């Protein structure tokens, strides 16, 4: 047993089974549930029994020489042996020692390729009903590897030889998956609106707080005359084309805006709010807010510039 034994650590999570093997099980001296499986070609793989098989062995209903059917799983190791086997339940039927590997080919070399298979990992606490699948690379040796298999979902029928998987049949099942396109966010467009009194623009966009209400933005370069309401609010009406936008702003806020605007040679007052109900000559702006910014001087016309040069 000393020549056949080697240390290995069984994985706690359950890998996807890639093969059903038949061979002779040899338990270790210190642990009857852990041992090795000797295949017909002499390959040796680490093996261990589950609780059900150990219980049957303990009561004498399952003998070591009768344990010959095992499931093969990839082993979390970059050094041989790359696989381990286990007996999930006693069974009298077992296919030949053939590994059936299905996965995505990620890396292709001259005589081998890495195939990404998936394992079922233990879910976190509180999510026992969910399944976590994680990719695990399995190296398959094949003398007819085609570089065009890269990123294709392929099927391999393999045999164990000298502790490694050698494919005897390979087939492309599915073409490579197309990457998912990123979600394109809606970008609101600017809609210019002519004004008879002040320069203004209207910007339409949908907000998350009000999915069906349009948000309107007005930019003016003049200070309109307000009307004081009973509750102390400043009420305004701004004309553009044949429509009138009416809105209310707090008196303290408007006094600060007027003071700031008068301290600048050029200014822009931005007013924004949700489009409210229609009025007789326009619509009402709800929850309006106002801010004052430094403005740019108007561009001088070409005729005025030529006149200045001639003078």
Please tell me the total count of domains within the chain: 2
pLDDT over 60 (residue 286): yes
305 or 268: which leads in pLDDT: 268
Q: What is the mean pLDDT of residues 84-88?
A: 59
pLDDT at 6: 34
Q: What is the mean pLDDT of residues 51-63?
A: 66
Is there a single domain that holds both residue 90 and residue 195?
A: no
pLDDT at 205: 41
**303 is a domain residue:** no
- What is the percent of the chain with per-residue pLDDT over 70, rounded to a whole number? 52
Is there a single domain that holds both residue 95 and residue 28?
A: yes
pLDDT over 50 (residue 8): no
pLDDT at 94: 46
Q: What is the mean pLDDT of residues 187-201?
A: 43
This prediction has a pTM of 0.37
Q: What is the mean pLDDT of residues 276-280?
A: 79
- Of 265, 253, 268, 193, the C-alpha closest to 223 is 268
Is there a single domain that holds both residue 108 and residue 239?
A: no
225 or 191: which leads in pLDDT: 225
Give the structural domain span for 106: 19-174
> Where a domain ends, among 116, 144, 174?
174
d(CA 55, CA 35): 16
Is there a single domain that holds both residue 166 and residue 221?
A: no
pLDDT at 119: 56
Q: What is the mean pLDDT of residues 202-217?
A: 52
Is there a single domain that holds both residue 129 and residue 202?
A: no
List, for residues 217-260, the tens digit of each pLDDT value: 778 888 888 888 877 788 888 876 677 888 888 888 888 888 88
Is there a single domain that holds both residue 194 and residue 113?
A: no
Is there a single domain that holds both residue 148 and residue 240?
A: no
pLDDT interval class at 271 (50, 70, 90): confident
**305 is a domain residue:** no
CATH value at residue 55 = 2.40.50.140
pLDDT at 22: 65
**99 is a domain residue:** yes
**2 is a domain residue:** no
pLDDT over 70 (residue 114): yes
Q: What is the mean pLDDT of residues 94-100?
A: 58
pLDDT at 93: 46
pLDDT over 50 (residue 135): yes
**308 is a domain residue:** no
List, for residues 147-185, the tens digit of each pLDDT value: 888 888 888 888 777 667 788 888 888 776 665 555 555
Is there a single domain that holds both residue 105 and residue 243?
A: no
Is there a single domain that holds both residue 25 and residue 170?
A: yes
Is there a single domain that holds both residue 50 and residue 157?
A: yes
**37 is a domain residue:** yes
pLDDT over 60 (residue 44): yes
Q: What is the mean pLDDT of residues 133-142?
A: 75
pLDDT over 70 (residue 190): no
**12 is a domain residue:** no
pLDDT interval class at 48 (50, 70, 90): confident
pLDDT at 307: 45
> Where a domain ends, among 142, 174, 206?
174
Cβ neighbours of residue 147 under 8 Å, at least 6 residues apart? 108
pLDDT over 70 (residue 130): no
Is there a single domain that holds both residue 151 and residue 222?
A: no
**183 is a domain residue:** no
Is there a single domain that holds both residue 163 and residue 49?
A: yes
pLDDT over 50 (residue 282): yes
- Write down the mean pLDDT value for the chain: 68
pLDDT over 50 (residue 196): no
> Where a domain ends, among 147, 174, 201?
174
């Amino acid at each position: 047993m000393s020549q056949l034994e080697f240390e290995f650590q069984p994985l706690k999570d359950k890998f996807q089974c890639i093969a059903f093997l038949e061979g002779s099980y040899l338990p270790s001296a210190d642990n009857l549930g852990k041992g090795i499986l000797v295949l017909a070609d002499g390959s040796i793989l680490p093996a261990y029994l589950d609780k059900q098989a150990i219980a049957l062995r303990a009561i004498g209903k399952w003998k070591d020489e009768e344990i010959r059917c095992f499931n093969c799983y990839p082993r979390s190791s970059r050094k041989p042996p790359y696989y381990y086997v286990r007996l999930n339940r006693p069974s009298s039927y077992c296919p030949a020692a053939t590994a059936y590997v299905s996965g995505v080919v990620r890396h292709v070399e001259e005589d081998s390729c890495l195939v990404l298979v998936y394992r079922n990992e233990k879910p976190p606490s509180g999510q026992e009903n969910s399944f976590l699948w994680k990719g695990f690379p399995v190296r398959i040796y094949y003398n007819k590897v085609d570089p065009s298999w890269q990123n294709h979902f392929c099927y391999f029928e393999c045999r164990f030889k000298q502790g490694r998987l050698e494919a005897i049949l390979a087939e492309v099942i599915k073409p490579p998956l197309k990457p998912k396109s990123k979600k394109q966010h809606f970008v609101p467009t600017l809609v210019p609106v002519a004004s008879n009194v002040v320069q203004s623009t209207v910007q339409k966009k949908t907000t998350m707080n009000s999915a069906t209400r349009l948000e309107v933005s007005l930019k003016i370069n003049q200070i309109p005359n307000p009307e004081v309401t009973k509750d102390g609010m400043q009420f305004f009406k701004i004309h553009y084309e044949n429509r009138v936008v009416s809105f209310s702003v707090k008196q303290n806020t408007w006094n600060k805006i007027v003071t700031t605007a008068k301290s600048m040679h050029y200014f822009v007052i931005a007013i924004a709010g949700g489009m409210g109900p229609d009025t007789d000559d326009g619509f009402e702006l709800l929850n309006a807010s106002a801010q004052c910014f430094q403005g740019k001087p108007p561009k001088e016309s070409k005729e005025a510039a030529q006149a200045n040069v001639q003078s």
